[in-house]
């Protein structure tokens, strides 16, 4: 795909990823004018797969408090033909996982069995 000038082309980019075996994003937002496309995925494996597929070189991690719960937002972005494409993963992080917040690519901590 050489340009993302239309909504159909932007959705075609996502359809092409799904056709190669990637999981469909659970949320997709395409701004008016097709210059901003945002994908929300469900887990870290999907996030890695989509950012690799799209060739996202820019990575950003943000940790924030939502009323007593910590969340980690991992964002990968790329600009293709003037269209900014963003892949985002939001994970809930427990206080036992605080040491992982400083790691760019944490491995999930399995909960202890009771």
Q: Provide the residue-wise pLDDT of the chain in tens; the chain has 114 residues.
A: 345 667 778 788 889 999 999 999 988 888 876 688 899 999 989 999 999 999 988 788 888 888 878 888 999 999 887 788 899 999 887 766 666 656 666 555 454 543
pLDDT at 111: 47
pLDDT at 49: 93
CA distance 77 to 66: 24
pLDDT at 97: 63
Class of residue 103 by CB neighbours under 10 A (exposed 0-12, middle 13-18, buried 19+): exposed
What is the DSSP code (8-state) at residue 4? -
pLDDT at 86: 92
pLDDT at 46: 93
* The pairing of beta strand 36-40 with beta strand 83-93: parallel
């Amino acid at each position: 795909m050489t340009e993302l000038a239309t909504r159909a082309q932007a959705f075609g980019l996502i359809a092409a990823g799904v056709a190669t075996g990637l999981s469909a994003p659970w949320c997709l937002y395409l701004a008016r004018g097709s210059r901003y496309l945002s994908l929300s995925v469900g887990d870290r494996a999907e996030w890695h797969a989509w950012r690799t597929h799209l060739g996202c070189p820019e990575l950003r991690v943000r940790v924030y408090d939502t009323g007593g719960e910590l969340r980690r937002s991992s964002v990968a972005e790329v600009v293709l033909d003037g269209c900014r494409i963003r892949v985002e993963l939001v994970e809930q992080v427990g206080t036992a996982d605080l040491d992982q917040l400083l790691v760019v690519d944490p491995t999930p901590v399995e909960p202890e069995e009771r």
